[in-house]
Amino acid sequence: MKSLLKELYRKFTLWIGTLFFDKQYFQNLYFQDMLIGTKWIWRSIRWQVIGNYNSQVSWPVSQFNTIIGPKENIVFSPNNIDNFQGKGVYFQCEKAKIFIGEGTLIANNVGIITANHDPYNLETHLTGKPVVIGRNCWIGINAVILPGVILGERTVVGAGSVVTHSFLEGNCVIAGNPARQIKKL
């Protein structure tokens, strides 16, 4: 009886979620086999729909994350919606797109930035440049990825790193400020 009630609760929450968010984001493990997705839906209704925080986004996002820019400027697999449930992640995609490869994990307090301020006029931004993160990458806590960076498949970004240039080949560990390759995988 308890498992039947859990399943009814899950299905009801998914139905409610489709009233506010795009259904495609509910087709993964977090919403099909686990109750954690239901927590994300209710929390996001509270903050995104009622509180109007990250309201431009059509998928559940933790109130502790910030997305600046239109939802179309973040491209990711619905299977990786967990990247938007942590704390302190800053997605700045107002001037260009952010592409996040499938299987990529993003830790807390990461900044992914597509446009910097103009150093001659801090009230404006420079032209945006897209950020591309390959498949199966890991972005460590407090890392910052700057405009125009492309990370190849299986790139591990060390905690606190500032990634200022691309690592196209992937299959490596990068770390530091500015980030440099410290190991091949």
Domain count, the chain: 2
Asked if residue 155 and residue 109 are part of one domain, the reply reads: yes
Per-residue pLDDT of the chain (185 residues; tens, 9 = 90+): 778 888 889 899 999 999 999 999 998 888 887 788 999 999 999 999 999 999 999 999 999 999 999 999 999 999 999 999 999 999 999 899 999 999 999 999 999 999 999 999 999 889 999 999 999 999 999 999 999 999 999 999 999 999 999 999 999 999 999 999 999 99
Cα separation, 46 vs 100, in Å, equals: 26
Asked if residue 80 and residue 45 are part of one domain, the reply reads: no
Asked if residue 68 and residue 54 are part of one domain, the reply reads: no
Asked if residue 142 and residue 88 are part of one domain, the reply reads: yes
Structural domain boundaries, residue 140? 64-185
Asked if residue 145 and residue 84 are part of one domain, the reply reads: yes
pLDDT at 176: 97
Asked if residue 144 and residue 118 are part of one domain, the reply reads: yes
Asked if residue 184 and residue 93 are part of one domain, the reply reads: yes
CATH number at residue 118: 2.160.10.10
For residues 26 and 37, is the Cβ–Cβ distance under 8 A?
yes
pLDDT at 35: 81
Asked if residue 86 and residue 17 are part of one domain, the reply reads: no
For residues 115 and 73, is the Cβ–Cβ distance under 8 A?
no
Cα separation, 53 vs 104, in Å, equals: 25
Asked if residue 41 and residue 131 are part of one domain, the reply reads: no
Burial readout 137-146 (b: 16 or more C-beta within 10 A, e: otherwise): bbbbbbbbbb
Asked if residue 150 and residue 77 are part of one domain, the reply reads: yes
pLDDT at 6: 86
How many CB atoms within 10 Å of residue 16?
14
pLDDT at 31: 87
Of 58, 77, 105, which marks where a domain is finished? Answer: 58
